[in-house]
Copies of this chain bind each other. A is one copy, B any other.
C-alpha cells in the first residue's frame, strides 16, 4: 500500500455481501486504500460480543469489481476489527468505518448494534472510527442519496481526527438527496424497546420464542438523534467507550466502606 494514501479499514454487521458495505467500500475507495474484514454471515444485534468459546475462521474473498483486499470472518464485528488490527493488517489504519447498516442505530440501539461496536472497537485501538446506518432494512435500500454526506464526514475525520476515546454514530433518514436537510451533531435520545416474545411450539411440542418488539422514544429533546432523523437530518452522535456515570460518583459515595 502506498504511504501517501490513507489506509481505511471497513467492516459491518450485516455480513460482507450486504449492499450497505458494498456501497461503503465504493465510497471509501475515493478517499484511500481500502481493506475489508467483515463477518461471513449476518451479525445484527451482536453488540460488542467477542468469540471466546470457539475458534475463528477467516478467508480472503474475491468479490467481482471490488479490487480491494477483503477477508470474510466467521466471528462477530468486533472479532473482525480485532483480527484486522492484530493479525491481517501490517500497519494501523488511518480510519475505521463500519456499515452502512441496514436499519437504525439511533438512541439505545447503539448498545445492541454490531455496526457501532465495530466502530467503538476501532476507537479503543486508537483509530478514528465511524459507524454509518441507513433507516432502511430493505435489501434494495438506496445508499446513494446520502453519499455526499458520508464522504464529507469521513473526509473530515480523516483530516481532523476525533477526540481520544470517541467515535461517531451516523444515522441517515430514508430520504432523497433533495429531501435531506443536512447533518446535525446531537446526543443519544433516551428510549427503550418493549419486547413482545412471539411464542410458538416446535413439532416436538417444545415452546420457543422469537424476539420481537416496539421501540419507544421518551425524549422530546430537539438536540437528540431521534429528533434530527424525524426532521430530515442525518444525525451524528459522538460515542465514547468510557461508560462511567461520572456525574453520579459523588451521589453514590455513601456506598464507600472501609
A34–B248 Cα distance when bound, in Å, is 28
A249 touches B238 (CB 8 A): yes
- Contact A47 to B49, CB < 8 A, known contacts A185-B256, A208-B55: yes
Residues of A at the B interface (CB closer than 8 Å) are 42, 44-53, 55-58, 75-76, 78-79, 82-83, 85-87, 108, 110-112, 117, 120, 124-125, 149, 152-153, 156, 160, 162-163, 165-166, 168, 181-188, 190, 192, 194-197, 199-200, 206-211, 213, 236-246, 248-249, 251-258
B48 touches A255 (CB 8 A): no
B246 touches A187 (CB 8 A): yes
A46 contact from B49, B166, B236, B248, Cβ within 8 A: B49
- Contact A55 to B244, CB < 8 A, known contacts A182-B256, A197-B86: no
Q: How many copies does the complex hold?
A: 2
A238 to B, closest residue via Cβ: B245
Most buried by B among A125, A165, A245: A245
A245 touches B249 (CB 8 A): no
